[in-house]
Chain A
């Protein structure tokens, strides 16, 4: 990979990370506040606690796994090519 392509890829990954963060926030909001009025109890604990806390954790791990699997790419960090002068 050329140096300029590595930088483009790094920019893309940074953007994807920001989008992933927004997804996590959206999930956290819906799974917690969204289900707060639901009276269902699971193992004597309200459902929103399970989805908003444990669920957010699992969801985040899943999102990060997708990120590193499909968006992030491996490349050498050394500058393989002398930049054009």
Chain B
């Protein structure tokens, strides 16, 4: 159904986001002339509760919230929805555990990235540079995967080619991230989160009427697929999968740097508190509605999976079956918004890692001061170069990208989990322990993923996080205690 009506709503939405971003750039010209790095990478620490909640939720919800999740729910049933609900903890957990402490420290040392904080805590260039490398590599692979997922969905729903869709939102997201900086990303994320909620609710409504009503869908399910009504789905959802998911997409997301950095960005504690509640309401609603769409789609796409191809085709097929071109075009704003809001945050964090954590730090160590204008040029260039590199790779992604992407989510969690938790909450944690944990954890995780080696049928994240913990404790016993200046900065309560 290649019609202009299909294309128009998304295009209008994207142009609107670009305009918002330009306006933010215009409004923050003064702050940027003053201290570019702080305004560009962390929004001058001005986020209110609503925007903080929305940007954290939107960064977390990705294209898989709309495609992979519902697709699996179509196969498994309510068990998958029940499992997906673990995501309800992700927002309040990261903001509640790290939000205050990292903000207190960041205000003291004027940090704008998570790696700034790690550098101040452990005084290790090796650790900081490795963290930057891990961040950039895994983020780029994730961005490519997000682009590919969304462009495929776009092609399947609108009938326009893969490259058309990719170019449309790919180019615009790179542009608005580059000009808007962190504040632009945060505000556009808020609009994206609203678009996601609207998109899923719209699809939900249309689907109910197309499937002959809720009661009919449910009665058919009880008759033809009774296993979809059980949590273990007749063995398709083993307990080990539930436990793995609690760790992988629940608790361990605590340490994802793109989420933690949001703990540096807010205005005051009230904003943080409100964001915890609003974020939990929004992420819970989105998970519930988006995933249950997959369950109810069973009443619309009633044939075998082989008829539809892969589970990734379930969402687009459902949209096409239930909606006319115009409403399908409106609805697809949801998944596109989920994609670009994730990409924008990752892109900015990646360019921040290169410009701030690596380049500016090298300059500082050599005693060179860089003019604000030059930093500005470099940061804008860094963002746009990484952005377009990702866009071009996404046009024809090499297979290695999928391998890296498979490692990305858990790899990031493993790299940062203990280094952040112990760094902020354990006075005794030292540099050697942190280095052991980060290098060793990532290595253990990636090797066990590559070899598909599992313990008790649990996801490799268990090995990564567990191994990283043991290595931290071993390394810590070998290393020297942190100096008093660091302790006064991170644990002033020890001296009082």
Where the two chains meet, the residues of A that have a C-beta atom closer than 8 Å to any C-beta of B are 2-11, 13-14, 16-18, 20-21, 24-25, 28, 32-33, 36, 43-46, 48-49, 52-54, 56-57, 60-61, 64-65, 67-68, 72-79, 83-84
Within 87-114 of B, Cβ neighbours of A (below 8 Å) are at 88-89, 92-93, 96-98, 100-101, 103-104, 107-108
Closest B residue to A59 by beta carbon equals: B88
Interface size class of B (residues with CB under 8 A): 35 or more
Which residues in A have their C-beta under 8 angstroms from that of B133? none
| A61 CA / B276 CA spacing, docked (Å) | 9
Is B215 an interface residue, CB under 8 A from the partner? yes
Additional 6 contacts, C-beta under 8 A, given A13-B100, A36-B231: A49-B81, A53-B292, A60-B284, A67-B92, A72-B272, A77-B104
Indicate if the CB atoms of B82 and A18 lie closer than 8 Å.
no
B161-178 interface code vs A (CB 8 A; 1 in, 0 out): 000000000000000000
Indicate if the CB atoms of A60 and B97 lie closer than 8 Å.
no
| A64 CA / B96 CA spacing, docked (Å) | 9
Indicate if the CB atoms of A84 and B495 lie closer than 8 Å.
yes
Which residues in B have their C-beta under 8 angstroms from that of A57? 85, 88, 284-285, 287-288
B241-275 interface code vs A (CB 8 A; 1 in, 0 out): 00000100001000000000000000011101110
Given contacts A64-B92, A68-B277, A28 and B85 within 8 Å (CB-CB)? yes
Given contacts A4-B496, A74-B269, A77-B268, A46 and B229 within 8 Å (CB-CB)? yes
Q: Which of B97, B273, B274, B280 contacts A61 (CB 8 A)?
A: B280
B461-496 interface code vs A (CB 8 A; 1 in, 0 out): 000000000000000000000000000100111011
Main SS at interface, chain B: helix
Given contacts A64-B276, A74-B270, A14 and B101 within 8 Å (CB-CB)? yes
Indicate if the CB atoms of B214 and A44 lie closer than 8 Å.
yes
Indicate if the CB atoms of B231 and A32 lie closer than 8 Å.
yes
| A67 CA / B35 CA spacing, docked (Å) | 35
Interface centre among B103, B230, B281, B493 (most CB of A within 10 A): B493
A sample of 18 cross-chain residue pairs with beta-carbon separation below 8 angstroms, ordered by A number, consists of: A2-B496, A6-B100, A14-B97, A17-B93, A21-B89, A21-B251, A33-B231, A36-B231, A46-B78, A46-B229, A49-B78, A60-B92, A61-B277, A64-B92, A64-B280, A68-B273, A72-B273, A74-B268
Given contacts A4-B492, A53-B288, A61 and B281 within 8 Å (CB-CB)? yes
| A83 CA / B415 CA spacing, docked (Å) | 32
Is B425 an interface residue, CB under 8 A from the partner? yes
Within 104-129 of B, Cβ neighbours of A (below 8 Å) are at 104, 107-108
Is B198 an interface residue, CB under 8 A from the partner? no
Given contacts A7-B493, A72-B273, A44 and B85 within 8 Å (CB-CB)? no
The 7 closest A-B pairs by CB, nearest first: A17-B96, A44-B218, A4-B496, A57-B284, A10-B100, A68-B273, A4-B493
Distance in Å: Cβ of A20 to nearest Cβ of chain B: 7
Distance in Å: Cβ of B124 to nearest Cβ of chain A: 23
Which residues in B have their C-beta under 8 angstroms from that of A14? 96-98, 100-101, 425
Which residues in B have their C-beta under 8 angstroms from that of A16? 96
Distance in Å: Cβ of A77 to nearest Cβ of chain B: 5
Which residues in B have their C-beta under 8 angstroms from that of A49? 78, 81-82, 229
B183-216 interface code vs A (CB 8 A; 1 in, 0 out): 0000000000000000000000000000000110
Interface centre among A10, A28, A33 (most CB of B within 10 A): A10
